[in-house]
């Protein structure tokens, strides 16, 4: 394993799903994440990032993702030297300060990695050019191509851990596909693999963006669009459910959805679904899964680990530990992978 192989396009910044290719994902990221799973159980990973420093700047709302990054850092022996749970509320951004200025000041203070959740419309790319510290995008709201790349990487890892493969799978992406950033990032990543089939299930008004469809076509991914999840349920290996925002100009459809469960996952969908399929959700979940019917099903893996395999939430922790190692200490990654 050479140092160069550990690094990805745009290294050390993690900004968009497009940066990663399937070779790096299969040969570097996944083996490291598996390694983290093993070390995690034995709590033997506590010295890998000893005395390294994380700055965590979350402008928008988040507890789960912020916790995931910060716990990953602690588990590797690192320190979280600044944690801003809701910087939009608690920082000078309330006084009109430009988001970049807050970030630039934090970069001046130094540290080994900067985690940014940005709920403004700015691109992080401009900031990365100026930054001497690796920046990891913990979800942005950029006007043109909003993304959540670490979520997509952990989604992919969850699929790999559960289904044992990514090439050749069929994925139903469901919900508000126009506004969701996780489906965008995951679509980009899936396009790097072979034989992928995507079913986009959403109201007409909330369909996936034309740019994503164009990207998938260009990369030879087969996809189709649907209104009712039950149409595609028998054919999907993965159900990737996302939050629908009620009454986002979709009143008529919302009523139909509520009445007929067009995009809701419930027992009827489970009955149609393959026995070896999986139900995923990036969370928060606010009604689009009928929890009391779906949670107990072994296919529901969004929060709870089942059958000795990690849940999607837990996979997030392992992927983020692996990513932190890669951007902060690529040499350590090399030697970890070499001794595998």
Given the rule CB under 8 A, which residues bind its own copies?
Answer: 40, 43, 46, 51, 53, 55, 57-58, 61-64, 66-68, 70-71, 74, 79, 81-87, 89-98, 101-102, 104-106, 108-111, 243, 283-286, 303-305, 311, 313-314, 317
Catalytic pick from 95, 144, 218, 338?
95
Inter-residue long-range contacts of 30-35, CB under 8 Å, 24+ positions, other chains counted? 30/157, 30/160, 31/337, 31/340, 32/322, 32/325, 32/326, 32/333, 32/336, 32/337, 33/157, 33/315, 33/318, 33/319, 33/321, 33/322, 34/318, 35/322, 35/336, 35/337, 35/340
Closest to its own copies by CB, 199 or 239: 239
Nearest-angstrom CA–CA distance, 310 and 317 = 10
Nearest-angstrom CA–CA distance, 142 and 199 = 25
Closest to its own copies by CB, 34 or 303: 303
Catalytic pick from 148, 181, 197, 243?
148
Smallest separation (angstroms) from its own copies to the CB of 224: 29
Residue 148 bears catalytic tag: yes
Closest to its own copies by CB, 190 or 301: 301
Residue 95 bears catalytic tag: yes
Catalytic pick from 65, 158, 242, 244?
65
Tell whether omega for the bond before 12 is within 30 degrees of 0, i.e. cis.
Answer: yes
Nearest-angstrom CA–CA distance, 230 and 269 = 6
Smallest separation (angstroms) from its own copies to the CB of 90: 4
Smallest separation (angstroms) from its own copies to the CB of 182: 13
Asked whether the beta carbons of 154 and 281 are under 8 A apart, the reply is no
Residue 178 bears catalytic tag: no
Catalytic pick from 64, 165, 260, 309?
64
Q: Which residues contact 329 (CB under 8 A, 6 or more apart)?
A: 48, 49, 52
Q: Which residues contact 26 (CB under 8 A, 6 or more apart)?
A: none
Smallest separation (angstroms) from its own copies to the CB of 71: 5
Q: 85-120 burial, b if ≥16 CB within 10 A, otherwise e?
A: ebbbeeeebeeeeebeebbeebbeeebbbbbbbbbb
Nearest-angstrom CA–CA distance, 297 and 279 = 9
Residue 65 bears catalytic tag: yes
Smallest separation (angstroms) from its own copies to the CB of 117: 11
Catalytic pick from 13, 75, 117, 162?
117
Element containing residue 240 per DSSP (H, E): strand 238-241
Residue 88 bears catalytic tag: no
Asked whether the beta carbons of 20 and 192 are under 8 A apart, the reply is yes
Closest to its own copies by CB, 222 or 304: 304
Closest to its own copies by CB, 3 or 44: 44
Smallest separation (angstroms) from its own copies to the CB of 61: 5
Closest to its own copies by CB, 3 or 92: 92
Q: Which residues are catalytic?
A: 64-65, 95, 117, 148
């Amino acid at each position: 394993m050479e140092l160069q192989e550990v690094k990805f396009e745009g290294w050390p910044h993690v900004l968009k799903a497009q940066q990663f290719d399937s070779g790096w994902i299969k040969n570097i990221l996944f083996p490291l994440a598996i390694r983290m799973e093993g070390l995690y159980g034995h709590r033997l990973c506590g010295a890998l990032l000893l005395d390294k420093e994380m700055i965590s700047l979350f402008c928008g709302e988040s507890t789960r993702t912020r916790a995931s990054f910060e716990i990953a850092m602690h588990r590797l022996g690192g320190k979280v030297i600044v944690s801003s749970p809701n910087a939009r509320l608690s920082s000078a951004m309330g006084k009109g300060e430009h988001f970049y200025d807050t970030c630039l000041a934090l970069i001046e203070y130094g540290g080994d990695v900067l985690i940014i959740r940005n709920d403004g419309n700015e691109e992080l790319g401009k900031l990365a050019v100026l930054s001497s510290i690796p920046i990891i995008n913990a979800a942005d709201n950029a006007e043109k191509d909003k993304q959540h790349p670490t979520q997509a990487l952990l989604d992919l890892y969850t699929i790999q851990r559960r289904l044992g493969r990514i090439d050749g799978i069929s994925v139903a992406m469901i919900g508000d596909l126009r506004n969701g950033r996780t489906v965008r990032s995951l679509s980009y990543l899936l396009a790097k693999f072979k034989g992928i089939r995507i079913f986009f299930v959403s109201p007409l008004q909330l369909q996936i963006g034309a740019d994503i469809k164009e990207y998938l076509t260009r990369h030879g991914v087969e996809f189709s669009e649907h209104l009712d999840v039950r149409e595609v349920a028998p054919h999907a290996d993965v159900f990737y459910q996302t939050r629908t925002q009620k009454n986002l100009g979709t009143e008529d459809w919302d009523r139909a959805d509520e009445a007929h469960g067009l995009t809701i996952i419930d027992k009827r969908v489970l009955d149609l679904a393959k026995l070896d399929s999986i139900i995923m959700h990036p969370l928060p979940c606010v009604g689009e899964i009928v929890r009391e019917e779906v949670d107990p099903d072994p296919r529901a893996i969004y929060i709870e680990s089942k059958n000795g395999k990690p849940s999607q939430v837990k996979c997030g922790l392992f992927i983020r530990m692996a990513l932190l190692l890669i951007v902060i200490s690529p040499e350590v990654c090399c030697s970890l992978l070499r001794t595998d």
